[in-house]
Every structure is written in structure tokens, then in C-alpha cells.
């Protein structure tokens, strides 16, 4: 009868690699704490602002007249009145701005991605970068010099839209440019292999593929310009009446309504400008949410 013997295997000495790196673990914890601290520092003011605006402006929005009436005939001490005129004015100005800025921004991005080569493309890209950093008041003063001083036209809502166009174009260009770069080159090459011209490839293949991402950038650009105040103050003074014509008379907007009511110390005006601030936040938030939802259906990210 044979006897089975088992050799006793002694454990191998621990390698320096297997030992926990204490310093690395400490740095990882410190970085985690720093990230969470920075997040809390950024969130606290945001939550504070939202709480303040909602608590002080919700009362005005709960009144049905807020959505159906204007401020015409309403004095600083009069209770009531609505923001219908300012909401309509904000939406009209945003729509005109988008009609002008979106085609220019999209075509510029197409040129930079699909055709742009050499000095001209670098110059266009450089000018877009400059427009990105231009303050809104500088854009407003430029349009004022051109529209009022040079051509002698009156200050109207359309002039405001021209200033907002200068602020929206770089947002649309950069967002569209990034989405076009994400379109796989294989799609372009397959279209070229079938004998499709380049312009038709762009229209039928590239743009449809990046369409949802482009729309997202447009909505984010609109969300930015809808809250601008300087162009409205310089080119389109506020109005308390409803005006649907952007080429004649003054047109109200939510930012100018806030600015016009903030100097009043009575409770009625106090409630109105907080209500206008909350209304503007809701409109901007709706555009941002719409942009996020559309981005989920982006064909490029699938």
C-alpha cells in the first residue's frame, strides 16, 4: 500500500508591488474629497438662487392673469398685471435671432469642417473665437453704432435681434462643428464611392446624422441669448404694452421687465420682478431640458 505524501509549500515572500501604496491611497482620497467639495461649493449658490426665486416669484405665476395680461396701465403701486407682453416679446426676439443666426452658424461650421483649408479657414475660426468672448454690451454698442448712428434707423426690437445674433452665432458654430466632426468618415467615403457629389453627401448623409446634436446646440444658444439684458437696454427700451411688430415701436422682454421693476420699493413691483425672473428661468430651463432630451436621440452617439 503506497503512501501519498504532500509537500508543504511555503508562501512566497510578499512583493513590493503587492504592498498597498499608502501615499497613492491618500492622494486618491484627497482628490475625491476635493472634487466633492468643489461640487458642493458650486451647488450651494445654485440651490440658494433657485429657492429664493421660486419662493418669491411663485405667487405671481400662480395668478392666471400673469399669463394673459400685460403691464399696460399698471403703476408701480398697482397690484396685479401680467407678463404676457414680456413673454411674447422674448419669444419673438428669440425666434428672429434663431432664424438669422442658425443658417449662418451651420453653414460656417460646414465650411470649417468639410471645406475649410488654409488661411481663410484659420481666419474664420479665429473670428469665431473672438465672437465667443465678446461681451453682450460690446455687441449692442456695435449694432447701435451701425443701426442708429450710421444708418439713422430707430431703436427697435429687430436691432436687438441683430445684437443677439452676434452672441448666438459662435455657440451654433462650435456646437455644429463638433457634431460634424463626430460623423464617421466611413459614411462620407461610402457616399463618395457611390458617385454622390460632396455637397449632396453633406446634405443627405452628414447633416441628417448630426441633426439632433445640431438642434441641441441651437437650443443651448437660444437659452443663452434669451437672458441677455444689455442689448435690450441699449437698442430696445422696455414697454408695458404688447407689441408684435419687431420693426416698429418698443417691445417688452423678460430681462427688461425685471430691470424696470427692480428700482421700485413697493411690494407689488417686488412680486412682479421676482415673478418675471422665475418665468425667465423656466423658459431657459425648458430649452436646456429639450436640448438634453434631443441629445439622447443623437445618431452620432449611437
**Would residue 239 count as lying in a domain?**
yes
Supply the pLDDT for residue 91: 92
| pTM (2 d.p.) | 0.82
Q: How many domains does the chain have?
A: 1
Low-confidence ranges of the chain (pLDDT < 50): 1-2, 4-6, 18-19, 299-302
**Would residue 46 count as lying in a domain?**
no
**Would residue 47 count as lying in a domain?**
no
**Would residue 283 count as lying in a domain?**
yes
Q: What are phi and psi of 21, to 5 degrees?
A: -85, 100
Q: Which distant-in-sequence residues (6+ apart) come within 8 Å of 123 by Cβ?
A: none
Comparing CA positions, the residue from 161, 156, 144 lying closest to residue 243 is 156
**Would residue 221 count as lying in a domain?**
yes
CA 287 to chain centre: 8
**Would residue 202 count as lying in a domain?**
yes
**Would residue 147 count as lying in a domain?**
yes
Per residue in 185-199, pLDDT (tens digit) is: 898 989 888 888 988
Domain of 132, CATH number, reads: 1.10.3720.10
Per residue in 262-299, pLDDT (tens digit) is: 766 677 778 888 888 999 999 988 888 887 787 676 54
Domain that holds residue 144: 84-301
Comparing CA positions, the residue from 84, 45, 79, 75 lying closest to residue 59 is 79
**Would residue 188 count as lying in a domain?**
yes
Amino acid at each position: 500500500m503506497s503512501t501519498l505524501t504532500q509537500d508543504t509549500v511555503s508562501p512566497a515572500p510578499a512583493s513590493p508591488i503587492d504592498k498597498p501604496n499608502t501615499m497613492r491611497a491618500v492622494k486618491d482620497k484627497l482628490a475625491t474629497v476635493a472634487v466633492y467639495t468643489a461640487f458642493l461649493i458650486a451647488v450651494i449658490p445654485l440651490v440658494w438662487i433657485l429657492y429664493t426665486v421660486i419662493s418669491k416669484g411663485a405667487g405671481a405665476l400662480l395668478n392666471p392673469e400673469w399669463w394673459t395680461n400685460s403691464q399696460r396701465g399698471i403703476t408701480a403701486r398697482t397690484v396685479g398685471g401680467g407678463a404676457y407682453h414680456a413673454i411674447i416679446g422674448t419669444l419673438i426676439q428669440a425666434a428672429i435671432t434663431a432664424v438669422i443666426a442658425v443658417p449662418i452658424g451651420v453653414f460656417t461650421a460646414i465650411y470649417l469642417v468639410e471645406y475649410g483649408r488654409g488661411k481663410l479657414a484659420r481666419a474664420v475660426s479665429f473670428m469665431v473665437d473672438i465672437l465667443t468672448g465678446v461681451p453682450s454690451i460690446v455687441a449692442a454698442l456695435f449694432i447701435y453704432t451701425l443701426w442708429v448712428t450710421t444708418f439713422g434707423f430707430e431703436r427697435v426690437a429687430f436691432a436687438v435681434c441683430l445684437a443677439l445674433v452676434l452672441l448666438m452665432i459662435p455657440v451654433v458654430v462650435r456646437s455644429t462643428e463638433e457634431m460634424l466632426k463626430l460623423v464617421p468618415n466611413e459614411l462620407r467615403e461610402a457616399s463618395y464611392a457611390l458617385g454622390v457629389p460632396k455637397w449632396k453627401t453633406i446634405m443627405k448623409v452628414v447633416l441628417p446624422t448630426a441633426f439632433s446634436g445640431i438642434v441641441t446646440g441651437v437650443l443651448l444658444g437660444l437659452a443663452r441669448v434669451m437672458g441677455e439684458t444689455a442689448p435690450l437696454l441699449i437698442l430696445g427700451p422696455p414697454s408695458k404694452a404688447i407689441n408684435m411688430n419687431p420693426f416698429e415701436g418698443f417691445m417688452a422682454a423678460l430681462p427688461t421687465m425685471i430691470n424696470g421693476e427692480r428700482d421700485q420699493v413697493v411690494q407689488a413691483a417686488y412680486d412682479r420682478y421676482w415673478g418675471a425672473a422665475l418665468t425667465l428661468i423656466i423658459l431657459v430651463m425648458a430649452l436646456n431640458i429639450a436640448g438634453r432630451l434631443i441629445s439622447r436621440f443623437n445618431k452620432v452617439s449611437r
